[in-house]
């Protein structure tokens, strides 16, 4: 890309390396894309790796709706002691020998944390408490206990169990499907607490955010060699339910005028998701969702009115 090239607009799925913050990745993509208009959909802790969805240009306006999608994680949990941060980087707290735990007890503990649950987020989360992030308060020595919130863990499967008789611990490899806002480190903490031995997270790799999977993710080294993006229309069609509009409705969207789509909206018991609105020629017009009266709430309008000459 030459210095005069127009910066690309679209989505990049990055395989975040360990030791990098999500902000570090955004800073690198800003340099590669030669634009400051870059953001990400859902923070990963520095120790975590895997899928980080990055938006470039106007695609940043999609990120808030992508970040609300369900996610999949591969994780390592060590049973035998808890830590201040609920992961391997925190100071060790109390625990008990776990290497003789019965598999039936482990399975019951996991079953109790599967489905709709109330979860107390990890104190080292980015949630703000009186204007300051919880993790900052914890690392400055404060004790923080956040309020419970509803989340859904639709899958919590054990892949491997490795007892360590000498160390008195048990390492458990798991895969978790969950709603946005679920803390896997809190699952590790709560599993250890329920079993009476303490637990913490030892590894975390995000393998999916909504429709974006690990096999689509690119290493930063590869992006240094060849930087490109998935264009906005393709990304929106994959990430959201899509509606193709008539020419009249498409023109109304360009001017931000209301339209009524009736049965074209996706229906569910959950709040209506963002929909991608397209013109007949495939142009991405907007993200929108239905109001209760089936009129349209525009979340982001990308198409501009045609200029007559």
- pLDDT, the chain, mean: 88
Q: Is 56 helix (H, G, I), strand (E, B) or coil?
A: strand
Predicted confidence at residue 309, as pLDDT, reads 40
Are 109 and 82 members of one domain?
A: yes
9-13, 254-258, 281-285: range with lowest mean pLDDT: 254-258
Give 244 or 307, the one with higher predicted confidence: 244
Beta bridge partners of 298: 288
Are 92 and 77 members of one domain?
A: yes
Decide if pLDDT at 1 tops 50.
Answer: no
Do 60 and 186 contact (CB within 8 A), yes or no? no
Residue 1 lies in a domain: no
pTM of this prediction?
A: 0.90
- Whole-angstrom Cα distance, residue 52 to residue 54? 6
Are 245 and 293 members of one domain?
A: yes
Decide if pLDDT at 74 tops 90.
Answer: yes
Decide if pLDDT at 308 tops 50.
Answer: no
Domain edge (last residue) among 174, 198, 233? 233
Residue 308 lies in a domain: no
pLDDT band (50, 70, 90) for residue 148: confident
Are 50 and 102 members of one domain?
A: no
* pLDDT digits 0-9 by tens, 226-271: 999 999 999 999 999 999 999 999 999 999 888 887 666 665 555 6
Are 270 and 185 members of one domain?
A: no
Tell me the two tokens of residue 287.
């993200």
Residue 4 lies in a domain: no
Are 58 and 153 members of one domain?
A: no
* Domain count for the chain: 3
Give 141 or 213, the one with higher predicted confidence: 213
Residue 2 lies in a domain: no
Residue 307 lies in a domain: no
Q: Catalytic: 45? A: yes
Are 189 and 286 members of one domain?
A: no
Predicted confidence at residue 138, as pLDDT, reads 65
Give 265 or 106, the one with higher predicted confidence: 106
Beta strands in 80-186 (DSSP E): 81-83, 92-95, 115-119, 128-129, 132-133, 149-164, 169-178
Predicted confidence at residue 296, as pLDDT, reads 85
Nearest to 181 by CA among 126, 220, 132: 126
Do 74 and 114 contact (CB within 8 A), yes or no? no
Average confidence (pLDDT) over 78-107: 90
Are 75 and 198 members of one domain?
A: yes
- Whole-angstrom Cα distance, residue 217 to residue 50? 8
Give 286 or 165, the one with higher predicted confidence: 286
Are 93 and 188 members of one domain?
A: yes
- Whole-angstrom Cα distance, residue 264 to residue 253? 15
pLDDT band (50, 70, 90) for residue 95: confident
* pLDDT digits 0-9 by tens, 154-203: 999 999 999 987 788 999 999 999 999 999 999 999 999 999 999 999 99
Are 60 and 110 members of one domain?
A: no
| Main-chain dihedrals φ then ψ at residue 304, nearest 5 degrees | -110, 155
Are 86 and 44 members of one domain?
A: no
Catalytic residue among 15, 45, 87, 249: 45
Average confidence (pLDDT) over 45-49: 91
Residue 144 lies in a domain: yes
Decide if pLDDT at 71 tops 70.
Answer: yes
Are 198 and 80 members of one domain?
A: yes
Predicted confidence at residue 295, as pLDDT, reads 76
Beta bridge partners of 118: 150
Q: Which domain holds residue 290?
A: 240-301
Predicted confidence at residue 264, as pLDDT, reads 63
DSSP assignment letter at 263: G
């Amino acid at each position: 890309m030459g210095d005069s090239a127009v910066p690309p607009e679209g989505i990049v799925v990055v395989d975040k390396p360990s030791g990098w913050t999500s902000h570090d990745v955004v800073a690198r993509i800003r340099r590669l894309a030669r634009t400051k208009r870059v953001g990400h959909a859902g923070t990963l802790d520095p120790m975590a790796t895997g899928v980080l969805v990055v938006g470039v240009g106007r695609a940043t306006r999609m990120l808030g709706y992508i970040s609300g999608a369900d996610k999949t994680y591969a994780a390592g949990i060590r049973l035998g002691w808890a830590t201040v941060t609920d992961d391997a980087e925190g100071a060790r707290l109390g625990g008990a020998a776990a290497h003789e735990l019965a598999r039936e007890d482990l399975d019951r503990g996991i079953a109790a944390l599967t489905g709709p649950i109330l979860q107390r987020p990890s104190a080292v989360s980015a949630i703000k408490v009186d204007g300051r992030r919880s993790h900052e308060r914890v690392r400055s020595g404060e004790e923080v206990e956040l309020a419970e919130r509803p989340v859904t863990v639709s899958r919590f499967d054990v892949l491997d169990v490795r007892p360590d008789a000498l160390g008195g611990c048990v390492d458990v490899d798991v895969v978790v499907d969950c709603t946005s806002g679920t803390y896997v480190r809190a699952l590790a903490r709560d599993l250890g607490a329920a079993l009476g031995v303490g637990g913490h997270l030892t590894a975390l790799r995000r393998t999916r955010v909504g429709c974006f999977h690990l096999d689509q993710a690119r290493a930063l080294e590869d992006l240094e060699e060849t930087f490109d993006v998935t264009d906005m229309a393709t990304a929106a069609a994959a990430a959201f339910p899509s509606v193709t509009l008539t020419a009249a409705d498409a023109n109304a969207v360009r001017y931000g005028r209301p339209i009524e789509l009736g049965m074209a909206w996706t229906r569910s018991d959950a709040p209506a998701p963002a929909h991608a609105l397209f013109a007949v020629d495939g142009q991405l017009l907007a993200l929108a969702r239905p109001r209760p009266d089936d009129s349209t709430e525009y979340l982001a309008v990308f198409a501009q009115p045609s200029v007559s000459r």
